[in-house]
Structure 1
Amino acid sequence: MRTEPSPPTGCYRLVDRGPDGQDGVREAFEPTSAAGSPWSDDLQHGGPVGAVLTRAMRLLPQAAPGRIARTTVEILGPVAMAPIEVTASVARPGRKIALLSAVASQRGPSGLRPVAQASAWWLRTQDSSDVVHTPDAQPPGPTPAELDRGELGVPASWRRGFVGSLEWAVRTGIGRIDGPAMAWASMPYPLVEGDTGDELERTIAIADAASGVGSRLDPADWVFMNTELTIHLADAPTGAWTGLVAESWIGQDGVGLSQAVLHDLTRPVGRVAQTLLLERR
């Protein structure tokens, strides 16, 4: 009898935590299968990596109420399916604005090697609900009929690792060439096993899938890997679902750009951009 795999309980397991000696954050994680890449079983997906870097920066103590408004994640090299150590610190402190930084490292033959880094702007928050304006329309939320719809759903080659562990409601065909693609995704488990209140990190992780949702290229013929991920959040995302209205810009020399508007179930919350390296298979 075939045994169905157990649903994931997180992309990572926290295995160590301690001070880094500079009033920062230091944590070590072991990846689960839900952190895997669709390109290789030996690599971690960039979304969970960016999310765990953002988590470390979010945990840095601040003197006033506020939140991360912009995160940029740089992938420095292949991130193996192996333990990852994350450190974070305040690069530029401030009462209203602070610049945060984080580094993810893995151990290799020559010692600890940085594999990804991130920076974030933390901003002090206050009520501005009386002047709210959003330039993008809010699409309807996911419907039962859209849940991973056969011909419009996630390509079979991507149904593994992190992407395969998500719940998908695909509204327009992935790879369409007549305009932006729309999909909703839900990460029905925390980024780190046992965590709560990590809606920011789950949004960051899903946002990295924008290049796939908005792809104009067939993944059977092309590899399109993003070198970085930049997310601007005008509002704090809430809820289990993240919407992506995404489109890719394909250049003439093997370089491209992925862009998307991010939504939760109530409103647009921000935008994401990724530089793409294009390669024929």
Structure 2
Amino acid sequence: MRTDMLGFEGCYRRIDHHRDEQSHVSEVFIPSAAAIGPWSNDHQHGGPVGALLTRSMRRLPHGAPGRIARTTVEILGPIAMAPIEVTARVVRPGRKVELLSAVAHQRSEAGTRPVAQASAWWLRTDESPEVVHSPEPRLAAPTDEELARGEEGVPASWRRGFVGSLRWAVRTRIGQIDGPAIAWASMPYPLVEGEDGDDLERCIAIADAANGVGSRLNPKDWVFMNTELTVHLAQPPAGEWTGMVAESWIGEDAVGMSSAVLSDLTGPVGRVAQSLLLERL
């Protein structure tokens, strides 16, 4: 799926927004086809929703220059392909450290319910070039051959919605058994129509695909849904491309976890972890 098939340029279009006296920010968005998840055309992918929550927290007023160092997104239930309202606030203000939160709600005939929530730590930034260190090796950039193959390495059933809207460069077969899987993905459009594409938002959205990239299970036989997403970023991500060295850990009781090292084209930037709920099809 390419961006001209999304309905509009972006995963979401903002249709309403306001800020109250306590600087709480509330916005309403409608999803495009790029927000569709891998398991059902009726539900949104957790990646764009997590990026939307992170976007709202990032845009809150802050006491000092800084950035989000950790984001945790909790998926509270199925998120329908319908308007979504996101409200964000500063829970714990500070000069060096702030705790942020955001909640996404949807309305139905049964009433309004929360469908996802997130928290983030905002840390004051300074300069530390003399002590820069990464424990992870640099991931080689996508090759022309990998870019030419595109999404061929992505399971056919996932080549729609959000996953299908991304550009892919798959280095090792997704679903392989021996060792982690390696893939690059690019989100070549903004999260919200009319806005400049933000590198943090792109990284958070793509990071949610780590459980698919590092899967050891055939999606024809198993559903392996992540109930949450936690991303730690030691380095601010830059650019459209996010690399993942991902693998899954499957328990004997149909519960597991996914983890991945995240990179941009300059080097490693952080790590992602997700809890997995497994179900046989």
The answer for the alignment partner of 1:6 in structure 2 is 4
- Which is worse superposed, 6-15 or 95-104? 6-15
Amino acid paired to 2:201: E
The answer for the alignment partner of 2:169 in structure 1 is 169
Q: Summarize deviations over 1:106-157 as a string: whole Å, max 9, x none.
A: 0012322100000000000000111100000011101121126389611100
Query: Given the two structures, how large is their TM-score scaled by the length of structure 1?
Result: 0.96
The answer for the alignment partner of 2:53 in structure 1 is 53
Partner Cα distance (1:111, 1:277) in 2: 27
Contact 2:63 2:93 in 1 (8 A): no
Judging changes above 3 Å, is the alpha-carbon distance between structure 1 residues 31 and 151 closer, same or farther for their aligned structure 2 residues? closer
CA root-mean-square deviation: 1.4
Contact 1:71 1:121 in 2 (8 A): yes
The answer for the alignment partner of 1:159 in structure 2 is 159
The answer for the alignment partner of 1:205 in structure 2 is 205
Judging changes above 3 Å, is the alpha-carbon distance between structure 1 residues 26 and 67 closer, same or farther for their aligned structure 2 residues? same
Contact 1:10 1:190 in 2 (8 A): yes
Deviation for aligned residue 1:6: 1.9
User: What is the SS of the residue equivalent to 1:202?
Assistant: helix
1:85-234 aligned within 5 A: 85-147=85-147, 149=149, 153-234=153-234
Partner Cα distance (1:208, 1:125) in 2: 26
The answer for the alignment partner of 2:241 in structure 1 is 241
User: What is the SS of the residue equivalent to 1:145?
Assistant: helix
Q: Summarize deviations over 1:49-89 as a string: whole Å, max 9, x none.
A: 00000000000011211000000000000000000000000
Q: Which runs of 5+ in 1 are unaligned?
A: none
User: What is the SS of the residue equivalent to 1:44?
Assistant: coil
User: What is the SS of the residue equivalent to 2:86?
Assistant: strand
User: What is the SS of the residue equivalent to 2:4?
Assistant: coil
User: What is the SS of the residue equivalent to 1:201?
Assistant: helix
The number of aligned residues is 278
- Which is worse superposed, 140-149 or 36-45? 140-149
Q: Summarize deviations over 1:77-107 as a string: whole Å, max 9, x none.
A: 0000000000000011110000000000000
Contact 1:71 1:118 in 2 (8 A): yes
Judging changes above 3 Å, is the alpha-carbon distance between structure 1 residues 150 and 243 closer, same or farther for their aligned structure 2 residues? closer
Q: Which runs of 5+ in 2 are unaligned?
A: none
Partner Cα distance (2:162, 2:116) in 1: 18
Query: Given the two structures, how large is their TM-score scaled by the length of structure 2?
Result: 0.96
Deviation for aligned residue 1:21: 4.4
Contact 2:24 2:89 in 1 (8 A): yes
Q: Summarize deviations over 1:175-214 as a string: whole Å, max 9, x none.
A: 0110010000000000001111511011000000000000
Contact 1:51 1:201 in 2 (8 A): yes
Partner Cα distance (1:5, 1:27) in 2: 23
